[in-house]
């Protein structure tokens, strides 16, 4: 009887075991920046940067917020950026948007990029962003960002630098 009891216990524990899969991909080699306009695919949708903005924080404790879209918007600062499955948005924010490179990741001094396709938000931690210039009216830079096998972009961008004025954003002066 004891043997039957132990046998049943072993079967129960065996049936209740959990198998987990871990992404054991070795360290990802991050390629050089492309010298063409930021483009690639996001959530299996072909994507090319057309319009983008960086909103300037309104206080010393705020963050710079960047939005990029695959659409020609008439006014980068005051337009609404709406992500859809056919027109995903790329975004990120930084406390300090200074000239230099930031590696994407979860560690101190690193950052994340988001890909948003209308229903799902992907936090991208593989890649890098380089800010080349930051003037009163524009920010230029380069980005490489990859998430899984369905999303990878690489290239250059120029963003309008937008400031809050009378309750709405407009090009900084």
**Residue 158: predicted pLDDT:** 97
Given a cut of 90, whether residue 125 has pLDDT beyond it is: yes
Q: What is the DSSP letter of 12?
A: H
**Residue 59: predicted pLDDT:** 87
Rg (CA), the chain: 22
pLDDT (mean) for 15-28: 33
**How is 43-84 classified by DSSP, letter by letter?**
TTEEEE--EEEEEPPSSTT--EEEEEESS--S-TTTS----B
**Residue 7: predicted pLDDT:** 31
Given a cut of 80, whether residue 21 has pLDDT beyond it is: no
Given a cut of 90, whether residue 12 has pLDDT beyond it is: no
CA–CA separation, 118 vs 116, rounded Å? 6
The residues, any chain, with a CB within 8 Å of residue 27's CB and separated by 6 or more, are none
The residues, any chain, with a CB within 8 Å of residue 28's CB and separated by 6 or more, are 126, 146
Question: Please, what's the largest Cα pairwise distance for the chain?
Answer: 86
The residues, any chain, with a CB within 8 Å of residue 133's CB and separated by 6 or more, are 99, 139, 140, 141
pLDDT (mean) for 89-110: 90
**Residue 28: predicted pLDDT:** 61
pLDDT tens for 24-59 read 333 568 899 999 999 999 999 999 999 999 999 998
Per-residue pLDDT band at 61 (split at 50, 70, 90): confident
CA–CA separation, 103 vs 127, rounded Å? 6
CA–CA separation, 135 vs 141, rounded Å? 12
Given a cut of 70, whether residue 141 has pLDDT beyond it is: yes
Residue with tokens 């799902």: 120
Q: What is the pLDDT of the chain when averaged over all its residues?
A: 83
Given a cut of 60, whether residue 14 has pLDDT beyond it is: no
pLDDT (mean) for 69-89: 91
**Residue 135: predicted pLDDT:** 96
Per-residue pLDDT band at 9 (split at 50, 70, 90): very low
**Residue 96: predicted pLDDT:** 87
What are the structural domain ranges in the chain? 42-164
The residues, any chain, with a CB within 8 Å of residue 139's CB and separated by 6 or more, are 54, 66, 97, 131, 133, 158, 159, 161
């Amino acid at each position: 009887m004891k043997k039957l009891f132990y046998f049943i216990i072993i079967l129960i524990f065996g049936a209740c075991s959990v198998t987990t899969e871990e992404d054991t991909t070795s360290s990802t080699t991050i390629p050089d920046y492309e010298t063409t306009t930021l483009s690639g695919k996001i959530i299996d949708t072909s994507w090319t940067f057309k319009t983008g903005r960086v909103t300037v924080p309104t206080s010393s404790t705020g963050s710079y917020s960047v939005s990029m879209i695959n659409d020609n918007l008439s006014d980068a600062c005051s337009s609404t950026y709406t992500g859809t499955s056919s027109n995903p948005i790329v975004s990120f924010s930084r406390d300090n948007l200074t000239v230099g490179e930031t590696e994407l990741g979860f560690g101190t001094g690193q950052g994340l990029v988001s890909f948003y396709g209308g229903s799902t938000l992907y936090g991208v931690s593989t890649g890098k962003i380089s800010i080349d210039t930051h003037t009163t009216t524009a920010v230029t830079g380069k980005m490489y960002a990859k998430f899984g096998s369905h999303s990878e972009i690489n290239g250059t961008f120029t963003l309008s630098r937008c400031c809050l004025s009378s309750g709405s954003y407009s090009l900084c002066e």
